Structure 1
Amino acid sequence: MRFKSTVLKELVDQTVVCIGWTGNDEIIIGRSDSSISKWSQATKENIKLCDLSDQSYPIDLHMLSNTQRLINKTTGIEQILITSSNGKLHLMSKTSKIDKSIDAHEGNVTVGRWSPDGSTLLTAGEDGCIKIWSRIGMLRTKLVINGEPILSADWNSDSSKIVYTQHDMLCIKSLKANIKPIRILGHSDIILKVSWCKANEFIVSGGEDCYYKIWDAYGNSIFVSDKLAYPVTSLNWKSDGNLLVVSYYNTILLCNQYGIILSTDYVDCGSVNTLCWSPDGTQVAAACANGKLMVSTLIERSVSEQNFNCLITSRKRMIVKDILNETKENLDFPERIIHVAMKYNHLIVTTCTQCFVYQMPNLNTPQIINLKDTNVFMINLTKKYFAVFSLNSVNIYTFDCKLVSSPKWPNMQCDVLQTNHVSISDHVLAVRDQLNDKMVHVFEIMPLSTLQTIKHGFSVTDIQLMSTKSQDKRFLALIDSSMNIFIVHIGHNNEKSKTYKLGSMFHSMCWNNQTESLAALQYTNLIVWYDPLLLLNDQILVRKALEKSDLSFYGNKLSIESYWDNVVSMINTDSVKISVQVSPYLEAMKNYIGANKWMDCQNVCRNVNNEAMWALLAGSAVLAKQLDTAEECFLAIGQNERATFIQHIKTLSDKTVQESSLALLTGNTSEAESILLRNGYTFKAVMFNVQIYNWKRALELALKHKKYLQIVIYERRNYLEFYKKQETSDRFLKYSDMEINNEDVLKEIEKENQQN
């Protein structure tokens, strides 16, 4: 992945000072001759918009994005914020005049930034002040007052904090009162630029000491670059946080989110004063020190799936290779390529105005969709559908290009969506809320309906829907900020979702495309649960039915990209891809279980002789009521008490009691009790709760059926006497004066046992 840069000399008569992208592939340019102009990438026309006052020139320029205007329900007014050398801030729309000019600072106003929610803006200047203004330019507060000039500042994702530079100090300041700011000695010389990523909350800074550094939101160091040849003059995050662009003299660096350099582009432009990503994240505009405007396009992006590989070689050309057949196809498009996605034997390509759908390996006759919303940020594929995430909408299509549904949710901001915050299966779409990171919105795809929103206790960092043919199996795996991994059973309609904790200290995961197994990274260990849904019934078996691999050789910052067949593909911080093979017998075992071929399952386990396989078969056999198979499995994994209990179940002649015991074997106590009650076994239900010390439920059943109260009180008193405890439950204290004849109670228990 690298940039292909073009210096647009023919556009510029005067020095370009500041730039900003609009949502229509247009660049707003501020020049040293005090003029503001607009250049269209589609028509190649340069149109002058207006002039500032004769005694000033623009210094900084920032666009209010379409998403920010949608959140605040505003139209196209006052979208452009311009700061100038005479201490003013200017608000203007795309028309040819300044709407409002305000005296903001003494001297140059070095920084002007809209907040991510579009409701406020900040300015900073050479006078050492940072001021917060309303959207229409009313002063709200002087947030920072000091004697040092402030050269750069930026907002965090929720508009609650800002980061700014003060000579060699990096400062993080909250807008809330009485919160002490964080001050860090960031560099050994003046810090020139700072940028706060809205997606991953990382801060990057660069300065005259020739370093760029990445920090977290609390000022902890994450990455420090090697010393560069010249001072870092500009840098900027891509909106989704996956890429970072850094520039110094005659050089532009493309880095991943960890700061590792992916490519180096050498250009003859001097130092770059300003870098700005295009809304679709495929281009970067640069205001250069030689007075020229430069546009760099992201090329050599690649997508792979099984034996196919797609490589974008230029703005409008792509090469598709079939590695097995050693064939190569060149695909040319009428417009610039924006996004490419390939999965399930389909290739989806979006350009500025169209979406092309190819069915592999046929690349001759694609189906074409004309896009209403041209700003596409993401494409996700399932076996049945593909979803196109645009600025104002999410559209889900079949591969025949028929629109299926268009889900919407509160706080919808697709431009800041990360790939691990959205997941789609053949039946369900799940998206993490863009403002409240503890909420996950869930939708039924067809027919479109909103399901119960998942509300988690901590910030959700990763979500993955299980891919399955069954519409009843709706499970979501999620990882939160505490690095705990959970399995969420998504209910139908307004049914509440149920959450089960699977493990701790995990940071990346992926479901298998066929076997419903789950792979996750626990630091440098790869954990593969053969069937994480066993967690719903048996927490012991799910901890045994897993495979563990030590990957410390590849570093400690791996992330999982895919889990196809029996291969888990990962990538490290240096963008090196790593493939790890898991048990090749897992798919065969799952197929045998699905076909009820229990003898074949046993033969596989006997030949492999692996505890994880035996545990997987044990859980599946219990659910299928295959007692002989389950007994052998429990003996193989050392669960002798369960094998003995199965032998006891085989001796039971009463079918109801046998079914209840089977439910108890899976750990489903509520189902075991309900089976007894449905068939009129009230006494056994009461005694069942007594035996598991569920005294509250036992008393509740006795009072409800108006029977066996004395038996419950008798058993409760024996329990307290044996453990030498005092009665503390208000429910049982009511019956502390009840006189009970022990002989009569024992006779009643014996009589009930004989009847049942």
Structure 2
Amino acid sequence: MQTGHSLYALAWSPDSESVVVGAGRDLAIKGVQAGRKQLRWPAHEGLVIAVDWNMVNDLLLSGGEDCSYRVWDSFGRQMFQSGGLGYTITSVKWCPNGETFAVGAFNTLRLCDKTGWSHSRDRPQSGSLTSLTWTPDGTQLAAAGGNGSVVFGQVIERSLEWDIFEATLVSPFKIKVSDVGSEVVEELDFSGGRVVEMSLGFGHLVAATHNQVLIYSVTNWNTPYILDMRGATSLIVQAATHFLTLDTAQGVQIWTYEGRHVSNPRFQNLRADYLSGRAISLSEDAVAILDRSSPKCVRVCDVSTGRPLVDGRAAEVVHECEVEEVFLSQFSKGLSERRLAFIDRNKELWLCPVVPTPVGRGSVPAKHKLHTQVESAAWNDKGDILTAIADGRLITWYYPNAVAIDRDLLGLASTSRDAADFGKSPRVISFYGAKVMVRRADGALLSAAVAPYPAMLYASVRGQRWEEAVRLCRHVSVLVQSRELWACMGCMALNGKNLQLAEEALAAIQEVDKLEFVQHVLKVSSEEGRNAELALYRRCPEEAESILLQASPPLIYRAIKLNIRLFRWSRALELAVQHKTHVDTVLGYRQAFLKSSGKEETDKRFLQFNSEVAVDWEVISAKKEKEREDEHARAGTRRGPSSGMDREMK
């Protein structure tokens, strides 16, 4: 590789397949394998003096003679540009965990967030800082000065918030915890070693030193549970009943808050040094891990065993492009209700079930796009409520699973507000209760309030207190003239197959067409028939057909008629021939359809059966009547009015 310039800086890529070099005023990425195309772009207005490439977040960092530092992605797109700092940037270095980086110049040392804004600035009398290096745990920094001095620094004043508690790392060996409600302050000393990582949430503070993890309850700060670790913990992720630690010696480990080891999730090519908080998400029963060896794949493991989900359930979610961030819902109970949200490289937010619905002939499309141009997102802890900053707006979906039930109701069960106050490139830090915490690009921490009523609705529904939930919806609709809660209730009822409640909710939001369909479903006598109609409502015809065919005994006529209603004539004929029944029914409806549309039969298979099977509508009507009577008898009900499925096509 020849650049034509003197080279002052270079760094390896995370996969060790290419290097980035400062070539004059440009940055260039060149693969070590012959034949790979070089990527080059203008980076600075002066010579590029320093460059670094982080293996965790895959971002590049550069500094130049123009007295600025800049952050880039691996495609050469600029993520941040600093203002002029007065002196040439002589060194830059990412922290190993990819959350911060250090910048060195003449008598200047800055600690910056990965998004670019400065945490702090110091003025050591060291001359130009020509080289920077971090300790492996990312808590200490050393810098070489041009006047022969060595500058040492330690990261402190890191602050975390949860509910009414705030934890601050005031020194490498001390954390101060403040209870804002009672104004009580606790100081936690760590004589066994400096604190390298900490996390606050779900009623617990988890702090890690270089060889221990200490678990504190917010109700008892005196007697923590203590875990001995083989390696330094680089990441802590919390959920309601478990928490996760990450270290290079043991990889990913899951623990209870009582200090009991639960599991050690593993899969091929899992590398702990490549993972960050954006690549791992934990819930009560599942852990999702982004596979860095295949960035389009998210591995989902069972918390209790640490193994990929089996028994016909998906062990991975494969996307069409690289996934950047993953989020597991926190409120759901059971894998069947758990949802995985993720943001891909195109800044699109997707939602999919952790356990896809099995079907008979085909596969149900598991992934659903929620929004585009998404900066960041977070799940709520009091309900399956998802919030995101997208395209300059703060959007909150009160029941995001509505995208798999009825996309029309998804919009009704959400709110959107202007997010101009958050500025450019904001990031959602947390979403607890009714408060969303957002970090702006300049480092300022802002909060936004969401309505508390959806969380109250989730609590009522989880406790099976349906009458209480209905009263809440009625009260809110009168109090604030809002339809969001009724739409959320309607989706919950449809998902839970509570048709009477769904009927009331849809009537309240004046969705007449959906209301009529629910009333039609209520007239279906068999449970399998109702479930099939609800699957059809969710736009899952293969699942609906599978439900009918797997009934005992199979509801063949309903499966055939379902395909006729959807004008899937070939499949309807295939089922009739396969089960040797209702071939004449399919032919009769096909002939009536072609006659009403003024067309002639051209399908060779239908032409063949038309010549072999006679169509007698009296016989067809008798068979249909017999099918209805058999279904009513099996359901143990009296025959009621004919449903829309049984109406004869004219």
Alignment TM-score, normalising by the size of structure 2: 0.87
Deviation sequence 1:187-223 (CA, Å, 0-9, x none): 3332211122333333222122222222332333332
Superposition deviation, residue 723 in structure 1: 4.6
Residue 219 of structure 1 aligns to a residue whose secondary structure is coil
Distance 1:492 1:751, change over 3 A: closer
The answer to whether structure 1 residue 592 and structure 2 residue 460 are counterparts is: yes
Moved more, 191-200 or 306-315: 191-200
Residue 443 of structure 2 aligns to a residue whose secondary structure is coil
State which of 326, 331, 355 in structure 2 corresponds to 1:463: 326
Residue 67 of structure 2 contacts residue 86 of structure 2 at CA under 8 Å; is this kept in 1? yes
Superposition deviation, residue 161 in structure 1: 2.7
**Residue type of the partner of 1:580?**
A
**Residue type of the partner of 1:639?**
E
Superposition deviation, residue 694 in structure 1: 2.2
Superposition deviation, residue 275 in structure 1: 0.5
Aligned to 1:709: 583
**Residue type of the partner of 2:492?**
S
Aligned to 1:480: 344
Distance 1:262 1:701, change over 3 A: same
Distance 1:492 1:557, change over 3 A: closer
Aligned to 1:238: 95
After superposition, where does 1:332-731 map in structure 2 within 5 Å? 332-334=189-191, 335-373=193-231, 375-393=232-250, 394-451=252-309, 452-468=315-331, 470-472=333-335, 473-491=337-355, 499-505=366-372, 506-609=374-477, 610-650=482-522, 657=529, 660-665=532-537, 667-670=539-542, 672-674=544-546, 676-677=548-549, 678=551, 679-720=553-594, 722-723=596-597
Between the aligned partners of 2:525 and 2:277, the Cα distance in structure 1 is 55
Residue 124 of structure 2 contacts residue 151 of structure 2 at CA under 8 Å; is this kept in 1? no
Between the aligned partners of 1:635 and 1:471, the Cα distance in structure 2 is 31
**Residue type of the partner of 1:455?**
V
Between the aligned partners of 2:36 and 2:339, the Cα distance in structure 1 is 41
Between the aligned partners of 2:284 and 2:554, the Cα distance in structure 1 is 42
Distance 1:149 1:427, change over 3 A: same
The answer to whether structure 1 residue 734 and structure 2 residue 598 are counterparts is: no
Superposition deviation, residue 675 in structure 1: 5.2
Distance 1:538 1:332, change over 3 A: same
Aligned length: 609
Residue 516 of structure 1 contacts residue 531 of structure 1 at CA under 8 Å; is this kept in 2? yes
Aligned to 1:49: none
Aligned to 1:58: none
Alignment TM-score, normalising by the size of structure 1: 0.75
Identity of aligned residues (%): 29
After superposition, where does 1:5-84 map in structure 2 within 5 Å? none
Superposition deviation, residue 324 in structure 1: 1.2
Between the aligned partners of 2:293 and 2:548, the Cα distance in structure 1 is 48
The answer to whether structure 1 residue 285 and structure 2 residue 169 are counterparts is: no
Between the aligned partners of 2:284 and 2:527, the Cα distance in structure 1 is 39
After superposition, where does 1:158-307 map in structure 2 within 5 Å? 158-307=15-164
Deviation sequence 1:360-411 (CA, Å, 0-9, x none): 23222222222212x2110112222222100122222222222222222222
Alignment root-mean-square deviation, CA: 2.7
Between the aligned partners of 1:667 and 1:507, the Cα distance in structure 2 is 30
- Relative to its length, the structure with more strand (as a share) is 1
Residue 11 of structure 2 contacts residue 51 of structure 2 at CA under 8 Å; is this kept in 1? yes
Between the aligned partners of 2:468 and 2:67, the Cα distance in structure 1 is 65
Distance 1:197 1:624, change over 3 A: closer
Residue 215 of structure 2 contacts residue 224 of structure 2 at CA under 8 Å; is this kept in 1? yes
**Residue type of the partner of 2:470?**
Q
Residue 489 of structure 1 contacts residue 498 of structure 1 at CA under 8 Å; is this kept in 2? no
Between the aligned partners of 1:304 and 1:674, the Cα distance in structure 2 is 48
Deviation sequence 1:330-361 (CA, Å, 0-9, x none): 22222211111111221111112222221223
Residue 330 of structure 1 aligns to a residue whose secondary structure is strand
Residue 588 of structure 2 contacts residue 617 of structure 2 at CA under 8 Å; is this kept in 1? no
Residue 200 of structure 2 aligns to a residue whose secondary structure is strand
Deviation sequence 1:165-186 (CA, Å, 0-9, x none): 2233322323354455333333
Q: Which has the larger radius of gyration?
A: 1
Residue 278 of structure 2 aligns to a residue whose secondary structure is helix
Distance 1:366 1:698, change over 3 A: same
Residue 21 of structure 2 contacts residue 28 of structure 2 at CA under 8 Å; is this kept in 1? yes
State which of 618, 621, 638 in structure 2 corresponds to 1:747: 618
Deviation sequence 1:275-310 (CA, Å, 0-9, x none): 012111111111221223222111111111111111
Superposition deviation, residue 702 in structure 1: 0.3
**Residue type of the partner of 1:279?**
P
Between the aligned partners of 1:282 and 1:497, the Cα distance in structure 2 is 47
Between the aligned partners of 2:293 and 2:530, the Cα distance in structure 1 is 51
Aligned to 2:643: none
Residue 422 of structure 2 contacts residue 438 of structure 2 at CA under 8 Å; is this kept in 1? no
Superposition deviation, residue 326 in structure 1: 1.1
Residue 714 of structure 1 contacts residue 742 of structure 1 at CA under 8 Å; is this kept in 2? no
Distance 1:672 1:395, change over 3 A: closer
Superposition deviation, residue 253 in structure 1: 0.8
Aligned to 2:633: none
Distance 1:680 1:146, change over 3 A: closer
Residue 305 of structure 1 contacts residue 342 of structure 1 at CA under 8 Å; is this kept in 2? yes
Residue 711 of structure 1 contacts residue 749 of structure 1 at CA under 8 Å; is this kept in 2? yes
Residue 250 of structure 1 contacts residue 268 of structure 1 at CA under 8 Å; is this kept in 2? yes
Aligned to 2:639: none
Residue 254 of structure 2 aligns to a residue whose secondary structure is strand
Residue 489 of structure 1 contacts residue 497 of structure 1 at CA under 8 Å; is this kept in 2? no
Moved more, 559-568 or 195-204: 195-204
Residue 430 of structure 1 aligns to a residue whose secondary structure is strand
Moved more, 734-743 or 317-326: 734-743
**Residue type of the partner of 1:467?**
Q
